[in-house]
């Protein structure tokens, strides 16, 4: 159930203020702000590329909900990551399914919609499920980083998600890949095996390809099209 209008207005002001005040704060401090401000009404959304954000969040709130969208098109390695993270980290995995199975979608919209209209496919298998997955919370945490893509360059560490009318936290927005690597090696963080097999970014298998050495990490997502975001963060 969405928050009352007055509460949403208050949260929006708090988020916008925190976005400026916490710009130089550590990821842990940003998550501590979420806990102090939202109580337990926040979750982590994970693509299962790695366990960095789930690990950070679980240090602040053991048992934190981690929302994972099972699109029906994931690599086996990604499904394995979800299972492994639920075992090795003190989190509560919340797996959200699309309203239609792949077979039902094929029957209604034609086979391989992802090839003909990837935006429509993402809308049904990612965007709508995320709306349902986030509905019980007042805030959500993503692992977005400014260095990942030009569309993410202005990401704030805390911001107001206008579309969903909730607080959005991006605690590692200021990190670069070197900082991620250091955190992972220092804390024994799980990583999706695909990232060591030529994939720079992990999405659904029909729309994700390996990248060439020196190529942008997200170049393998929807390769050959002008699509660079699935719609979850835009």
User: 127: closest CA among 151, 167, 99?
Assistant: 99
* Whether residue 229 has pLDDT greater than 70: no
pLDDT in tens, 125-168: 999 999 999 999 999 999 999 998 888 899 999 999 999 999 99
- pLDDT given at position 1: 43
Q: Answer yes or no: are the C-beta atoms of 108 and 121 closer than 8 Å.
A: no
Q: Domains, the chain, ranges and CATH? A: 5-196 (3.40.50.620)
The answer to whether 37 and 43 have CB atoms below 8 angstroms apart is no
Residue in 193, 218, 204 with CA at minimum distance from that of residue 69: 204
Beta carbons within 8 Å of 190's beta carbon, 6+ residues apart:
50, 51, 81, 84, 85, 88
| Predicted local confidence at residue 115, as pLDDT | 93
Catalytic annotation on 230? yes
Q: Which of 19-23, 60-64, 140-144, 147-151 has the lowest mean pLDDT?
A: 147-151
Name the active-site residue from 43, 121, 204, 230: 230
């Amino acid at each position: 159930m969405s928050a009352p209008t007055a509460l949403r207005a208050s949260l929006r002001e708090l988020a916008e203020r925190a976005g400026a005040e916490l710009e130089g704060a550590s990821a842990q401090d940003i998550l501590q702000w979420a806990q102090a401000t939202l109580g337990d009404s926040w979750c982590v959304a994970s693509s299962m590329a790695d366990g960095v954000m789930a690990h950070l969040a679980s240090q602040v709130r053991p048992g934190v909900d981690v929302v994972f969208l099972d699109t029906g098109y994931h690599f086996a390695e990604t499904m394995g990551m979800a299972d492994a993270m639920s075992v090795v980290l003190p989190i509560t995995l919340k797996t959200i399914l699309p309203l239609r199975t792949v077979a039902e979608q094929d029957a209604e919209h034609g086979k391989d919609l992802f090839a003909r209209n990837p935006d429509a496919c993402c809308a049904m298998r990612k965007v709508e499920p995320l709306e349902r997955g986030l509905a019980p919370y007042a805030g959500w945490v993503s692992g977005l980083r400014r260095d990942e893509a030009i569309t993410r360059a202005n990401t704030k560490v805390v911001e107001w998600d206008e579309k969903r009318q909730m607080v959005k936290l991006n605690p590692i927005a200021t990190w670069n890949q070197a900082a991620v690597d250091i955190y992972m090696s220092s804390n024994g963080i799980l990583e999706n095996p695909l990232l060591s097999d030529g994939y720079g970014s992990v999405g659904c298998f029909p729309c994700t390809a390996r990248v060439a050495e020196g190529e942008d990490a997200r170049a393998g997502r929807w390769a050959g099209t002008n699509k660079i975001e699935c719609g979850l963060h835009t």
